[in-house]
Amino acid sequence: MKKSILITLLALWTGYAFTQTQNSLDNLFSKNGEIYFKFKPEFQNDINRLTKIISIDNVDGDIIIANANQKEFEEFLKLGYDYTILPHPNKNFNPKMLSVDDLKNIKDWNTYPTYDAYVAMMYQFETDYPLICDVFSIGQSVQGRELLVAKISDNLSTDEDEPEFLYTSTMHGDETAGYIFMLRLIDSLLTSYGTVPRIIGLINEIEIYINPLANPDGTYWGGNNTVSGAIRRNANSVDLNRNYPDPEDGPHPDGNPWQPETIAFMNFAENHHFVISSNMHGGAEVCNYPWDTWSQYPADTDWWEYVCHEYADTAQTFSPSGYMSGFDDGITNGYAWYSIAGGRQDYMNYFHQCREFTLELTNTKLLSASQLPAYWGYNRRSLLNYMEQVLFGIRGIVTDSITGQPIKAEVFILNHEADSSWVYSEIPVGNYHRPIYAGTYDIQFSAGGYITKVIENVNVTNKNTTLLDVQLVPENFFQVNIKVFLEGPFNGTDMNTDLNSGGFIPLYQPYTGSPWNYTGTESVVSVPVNVVDWVLIELRDTTDASLATGETMIGWQAAFILNNGSVVGLDGSNMPWHVATITNNLFMVIWHRNHLGIISAFPLTKTGGVYTYDFTTGAGQAYNSGQKDIGGAWGMVAGDGNGDGIVDDFDISVTWTSDAGKSGYWRGDFNMNGQTDNIDKNGFWLPNFGQGSQVPD
């Protein structure tokens, strides 16, 4: 009985103690839904395990400062560490607030706006500067507040060969200096455009995007009229800088669903092609570059250290001694400071090939309003310096070598890239931008369906731009080197160009009508010299010429034939090209408007990317001896005035008769000298009467 009573008493005491502990925890989290605390880990490498449980905010020597919601803190307590609860940054923070009515009186930027004033201010920027500023929402927070972005550019609605740049701040709602700095940066850019050359250049050459407040629910946790109750997390008590997909720890490293704010920024990044960005924080003064999630350094470590030192060094120059001078003189590798998973910086770098770093602006998270102007002065020039870096490095446009159309291609620095550091050209312009440290590089350009191209020894110097436009050749691209003679204009050595010299050859291809019904739109401004006439060339893919029926056609195009028999493109010199996959053998058909069509008796021979065939060397070069000896060479048979594939009475009674006596470009002009007369009938039609084309139907 005594034992039973003792067990009952112990159970009651344990339950009472648990209840008291739970009540204490509930009270601890009742105001902010989160706490800050510090502790000393038993082993330094415990950080990697702890960062999966709580949000590490800072590491100072062997002391960890952390933030947690109640669920996370209860998990932390199970580890048995001694800890000290710290005052929340919002304690006793009650800054001067700017209302909507006060917007016109902004001079010193030494206040924080109410939420309504913030929204009004953003849209007022657009109203005041509609030609260079567009303000829009990329989504809403948990509590329905807008995630606003200002786009600043000289051509707001036009896709140009310009890099996209992004600044975003205060994804931790209680780190607010960057919030005001970004509002002031927008104002400074807009009001300086047209008068300050540097600002004019930035706006004219960059698509600038600025999001001042990425976590409005956290910043206005105390209500829309004050930031005095600002907290780190969003309204679901999720740390947004642990909520992104992580290159090492997967899509949900914090164990939480993606938050509305996270999804909005992920979609925003997906719909854009940001080259460089930064997200702004508080609680330290340092430029934190990738990676945060793992220990290996990024491929562009030299560049990161260069641009981060440029930021920190400039800030030091224009601030009191000691500002942004800790760590490695104001910069640090993220993992070397402390590891996190699910950070925005690593997400943007790895999944979007965007150079983003974490900018810690102030040791004090909630900077007093009176100090905002001074800290803006420390950072103003550095913010512009970093933005300007998006213009430097290697840039250009990647296009299809045949059509000139832009291509989305991978731009890969050989013997350099790692961990998704390469970049891509962007549709619809085809422009790419590759920030990189000074050096000499070999660059590989590749895209699906195109032949990979490597350009060697590309030289880059810091704070300069190396322009490199690239054309990629389609994988199934080839040219055809064809020689053929037409009987009519042949003079024993080459062909006369009377139609050309007489100005009779049309500028638009002449095969739109029956029997060809060709729909191509080939045309020229002027007919090149040495051109005899237009021809229509057709490619057929099969095993043997006898099987090369019309069903085997894989492409055709209008081209020019020169006086030496060469078939050329519209420029009058280059070989015609095609993009097609050859499954069997390639055969060539030549059509002309008043000569019998022919097809190659044998497959064209390929050397490199060129298929070659010469019809002129013998009767057997055309299938079924479909051409004739024209005196010194073999050529296509003249006299088929209506193009029906046979030289017969209709070519005289209909075609020649209607054209007789006329000068110009007529199908009854079989010798193609610009005059339709008896020579055409008696010298070409009559000797060829009864002959027919041997091209398989």
Q: Which residues are catalytic?
A: 360
List, edge to edge, every strand of the sheet that includes 553-562.
567-568, 553-562, 531-542, 585-592, 595-599
Picking from 283, 294, 421, the residue whose alpha carbon sits closest to that of residue 359 is: 283
Q: Residues 473, 451: contact at Cβ < 8 Å?
A: yes
* 194 vs 199: CA distance, rounded Å: 8
- How many angstroms separate the first and last alpha carbons of the chain? 110
Handedness of CA 12, 15, 17, 23 (dihedral sign): negative
List, edge to edge, every strand of the sheet that includes 286-289.
133-140, 146-152, 207-211, 164-169, 274-281, 355-360, 286-289, 331-333
CB atoms within 10 A of CB 416: 16
List, edge to edge, every strand of the sheet that includes 35-39.
55-60, 63-68, 35-39, 83-86
Phi, psi of 459 (to 5 degrees): -95, 135
**Paired tokens of 152:** 């600043």
Is residue 51 classed exposed, middle or buried when 0-12, 13-18 and 19+ CB atoms within 10 A define those classes? Answer: buried
Is residue 650 classed exposed, middle or buried when 0-12, 13-18 and 19+ CB atoms within 10 A define those classes? Answer: middle
Tell me which H or E stretch contains 63: strand 63-68
State which amino acid sits at residue 525. V
Is residue 128 classed exposed, middle or buried when 0-12, 13-18 and 19+ CB atoms within 10 A define those classes? Answer: exposed
Residues with Cβ within 8 Å of residue 312, at least 6 apart in sequence: 286, 287, 324, 325, 329, 330, 331, 382
